Structure 1
Amino acid sequence: MPIAKLARHPLLKAWPQDVRDALPLALWSSDAIAAACGGTASAEFEAAGVEMDSRDVRPGDLFVALKGESMDGHRFLEAAFAKGAVAAIVDRPVDYPHVLVADTTAALHALAHAARERSEAVRIAVTGSVGKTGVKEAIFACLDRASRGAAHRSVRSYNNHVGVPLSLARLPARARFGVFEMGMNHAGEIAPLTGHVRPHIALITTIAPAHIENLGSLEAIADEKAQIFTGLMPGGTAIIPADSDWADRMVRHAEVTGAKVITFGRKAGADVRLLDAIPVQGGGSLITADLGDIRLCYTIAEPGEHWIVNSLGVIAAVRAAGGDLASAGLALAELGGLKGRGQRHVLKVAGGTALLIDESYNANPASMRATLKALAQTPAQRRVAVLGSMKELGDFSEGFHRQLAEPLGDAGVTHAILVGEEMRALAAELGKGLGNSLGKPISFAHCQGADEAIAALAEFGLGHGDAVLVKGSNSVGLGKLVARLTQGA
């Protein structure tokens, strides 16, 4: 058919129009950046991405030369352009295409706010003591599948005072959904982050003693996490874990903002309530949930009871955002573990294969218990746990580490490798000869660092059918052990 005649075909003429079709394909143009930041562009250009770390720059990126107390991004301009940056935001004239501003940090914030204002995307903010990265990724997967690639999210754990504005600045004008993770170490850190994003939906995964050294109590942690509701858009939705001891406290925080409150969990009366969870082959679960007006049945690929409840929060967020629940169910069934947060590897060992569960990125008392419980449900000849210290627990540290003896025993762990000074308390507890679920004492080794742990695990020797869990605070460096194990896996 001739092209002229094809263009007049009734089906093409009736093709649905979308206002986003008129928006630019490039993430940012030089004019748009200059207008947003109040700066001056040295040349015309278009950028496909925004980056602040020269090591992560990809061709087509805009490099933001941020300045900190001990670091100046302007020192890395040459490296950024060598990797393919098309331009930079700078506070001094340079010999590269750039936008000149007075303050590069303020410019990044302005660019983030401009991205927010130009987009009609539904914005979802996620925080919590445990599980926020996994829940963020799950919500993104559900919405990205439903929108056929029109969803955006924070990458990795870009959840702080720099990462959140950077993630927001990367929000494409054509996006239909944006999912942003928010973290904190001290009081007063969540409110500025939610103020940047101004979410339509804000979700708290759970409250646990992460960063309790700085906050002082679980009540204070709940109060700080609930500050995510202060940034909600008018008419926004607050999603709260009904099973939390501090659920009512968080609900009160949300109600002060005028938000619509949705609760999720096992508790009777939860708006998204678990009715049934049946284990499925491969470690996941078949979930039946009551959403009030409908019941939903779906499968989650991720193992562990914590993911059963997490999935209810994901479903609540997807529904509040106007996403498709059928697509969400398919996405949850295919969701894989993240590097350092549940990713599973099959290792070649003497006589066959062993399973490695990589939880090396983060750890606190609640997540330790959850992953040990998941380990208990993992079929294995022997279960081995490599546990690194849990940081930022302050005066509570010794008690929380010592209390891991019980979940270790319940998980049927045969051998434990304990890494870090804080783990000395758990080593002392295991030294009393406490038995595991099979009634046998748990053998253990206490190491100071990742290198010693690698040697200790090699000395123990993994065999066919073993399952080994690696979990600890990121600063302990157990990612090095995972990397060593997975080389050639």
Structure 2
Amino acid sequence: MREILWTADEIAAATGGQVLADFAATGVSIDSRSLEPGDLFVALTGARDGHEFVVQTADKGAAGALISRPVAIPAVLVEDTFRGLERLGVAARERAPQARRGAVTGSVGKTSVTRAVEAGLRRAGKAHASIKSYNNHIGVPLTLARMPRDTQRAVFEVGMNHADEITPLSGFIRPHAVAITTVGPVHLENFADGEEGVARAKAEIFAGLEPNGVAVLNADNPWFGLLKAEAEKAGAQVWSFGTGEGVTAQLTVFASGAQGAQVTAVVRGETLHFPILQTGVHWGLNSLCVLLMLEALDVDRETALAALAEFEPIEGRGAERMVRIPGGTFTLVDESYNANPVSMQAALATLGARNVAGRRIVVLTDMLELGPQSARFHGDLASPIAAAGIDLVFCAGPLMKSLWEALPPTRRGAYAQSAAELAPQVASAMRAGDVVMVKGSNGSKAGAVAAALGALDLEGQD
């Protein structure tokens, strides 16, 4: 039985609304499809008007609704349901002053780092966190509104694809600690000043930082100097991680194996050796980012290392599985959730470092939102592919045509205009012992290829 999260009177007090009929909610939802019994349904207006689904949510067990026009279920009436959701989030934060709050952003790795920080927070006590990638102007207030009043620690993922998006989100969260995993050429089509614009947009995370808060920054990133200056301007303590000298947490060794990796690092002068279940080379630095964030949120080192040791790769972000085919198995590495030049290079380097019985194969779909230099970014992948010793490359999408044309004939697997067209060609090429990595932007449907390869598994067939 879930605890009561909000009463109708509390919702009205938080939002300035009017109680039409009394109720008590155990959760908050904006989607009638995923609503659970006992939830408050917030009827947002947008492409579809949430008021059209209020009666349906009542049938699914909604406790009540936040609405801007009368409906036939218990509800709180407000002028604007989106503003109401924002105010509910702020009220949730204010009624839990004991909660230490963290926020994570970055061009690459923010979801995985957020999930790993969450794992540490849950080991340490009553914790709250974003679900999925609820990191935008709706997802952040919704996550706050769902935060129980007895939360001890919380972590929020914060995303953007334009300037001035993160500032209000940071203001809602009022974090005690923030992390910027890295800055790279992502969403460039929305920034006239290129990567510097992306860096400045990420630096907006400092806007809502609590006094004397902590900023955890990647010292290996070219924009570290800019980010450090912006953090200090906001009054933050800067804790850095990287491979060079003079950082708070220095990565010295990352040794990847079949089931994970061993990390050696010097953190505040202490040498640590610890295992993680991740194999991606970028997880050497990610793990240090996680350790520093957990420290900033008052989680002890032993608890943090235990959480990292058990944190598994997320589906679409490096999760692996063995797929049975006639003659044996091949390994599917699913990196299909997203891609940009930085994450592509890290993923290719990780694949190149693996010991494989068969071939190293990559299936790549378009990287999106890279602006006028998009063709160059795609074509430039030929060099890290060669350095990684990739045997076969499959490409899908009009942008990946630039890479396809840059590849030598010996590395060309197949090219298609779409992931759906490419999937059967990739599936027919698999052999026992191969390791195949699927990666691309979510919008270019790389997941369709990963799904097709997973469906080959003989174990799931009659």
Show the counterpart of 1:141. Answer: 119
Deviation sequence 1:120-166 (CA, Å, 0-9, x none): 2111000000000000001000111122xx11111111111111111
- Answering whether residue 253 of structure 2 is matched by residue 276 of structure 1, we say yes
State the AA in 2 paired with 1:444.
Answer: G
In structure 1, list runs of 5 or more residues that go unmatched. 1-23, 434-440
Show the counterpart of 1:369. Answer: 345
- Answering whether residue 263 of structure 2 is matched by residue 287 of structure 1, we say yes
Change beyond 3 A, Cα 1:484–1:97: farther
- Answering whether residue 90 of structure 2 is matched by residue 122 of structure 1, we say no
Give the superposition deviation at 1:295: 3.2
Give the superposition deviation at 1:280: 4.3
Q: 1:263 aligns with which of 240, 247, 256?
A: 240
**How do 1:57-456 residues align onto structure 2 when only pairs under 5 Å count?**
57-68=35-46, 70-119=47-96, 120-147=98-125, 150-216=126-192, 217-282=194-259, 284-380=260-356, 381-430=358-407, 432-433=408-409, 441-456=410-425
Q: Which moved more, 1:394-403 or 1:348-357?
A: 348-357
Percent of aligned pairs sharing the same letter: 45
Give the superposition deviation at 1:281: 4.6
State the AA in 2 paired with 1:418.
Answer: C
Show the counterpart of 2:16. Answer: 38
Contact 1:409 1:442 in 2 (8 A): no
Contact 1:358 1:471 in 2 (8 A): yes
Give the superposition deviation at 1:293: 4.8
Give the superposition deviation at 1:318: 0.5
Give the superposition deviation at 1:269: 0.4
Show the counterpart of 2:31. Answer: 53
Contact 2:256 2:281 in 1 (8 A): no
Q: TM-score, normalised by structure 2?
A: 0.95
Change beyond 3 A, Cα 1:448–1:428: same
Q: Which moved more, 1:199-208 or 1:374-383?
A: 374-383
- Answering whether residue 434 of structure 2 is matched by residue 466 of structure 1, we say yes
Q: Distance in 1 between matches of 2:435 and 2:56?
A: 42
Show the counterpart of 1:16. Answer: none
Show the counterpart of 1:436. Answer: none
Show the counterpart of 1:482. Answer: 450
Give the superposition deviation at 1:190: 1.0
State the AA in 2 paired with 1:450.
Answer: A
State the AA in 1 paired with 2:122.
Answer: D
Give the superposition deviation at 1:477: 1.3
Q: CA RMSD in A?
A: 1.5
Q: Distance in 2 between matches of 1:28 and 1:467?
A: 49
DSSP-derived class of the 2:368 partner: coil
Deviation sequence 1:207-230 (CA, Å, 0-9, x none): 110111111311111111011001
Deviation sequence 1:190-218 (CA, Å, 0-9, x none): 11111111111011000110111111311
State the AA in 1 paired with 2:329.
Answer: T
Q: Distance in 2 between matches of 1:459 and 1:300?
A: 34
Q: Which moved more, 1:34-43 or 1:252-261?
A: 34-43
DSSP-derived class of the 2:241 partner: strand
Change beyond 3 A, Cα 1:81–1:483: farther
Change beyond 3 A, Cα 1:484–1:46: farther
Give the superposition deviation at 1:46: 2.1
DSSP-derived class of the 1:422 partner: coil
DSSP-derived class of the 2:147 partner: coil
Structure whose alpha-carbon radius of gyration is higher: 1
In structure 2, list runs of 5 or more residues that go unmatched. none
Contact 1:143 1:324 in 2 (8 A): no
Q: Distance in 2 between matches of 1:452 and 1:82?
A: 41
Give the superposition deviation at 1:41: 2.1
Contact 2:361 2:392 in 1 (8 A): yes
Q: Distance in 1 between matches of 2:403 and 2:257?
A: 33
Contact 2:41 2:65 in 1 (8 A): yes
Give the superposition deviation at 1:265: 1.1
State the AA in 2 paired with 1:464.
Answer: A
Change beyond 3 A, Cα 1:421–1:249: same
Give the superposition deviation at 1:398: 0.8
Contact 1:287 1:308 in 2 (8 A): yes
Contact 1:378 1:467 in 2 (8 A): no
**Number of residue pairs the alignment of both structures matches:** 453
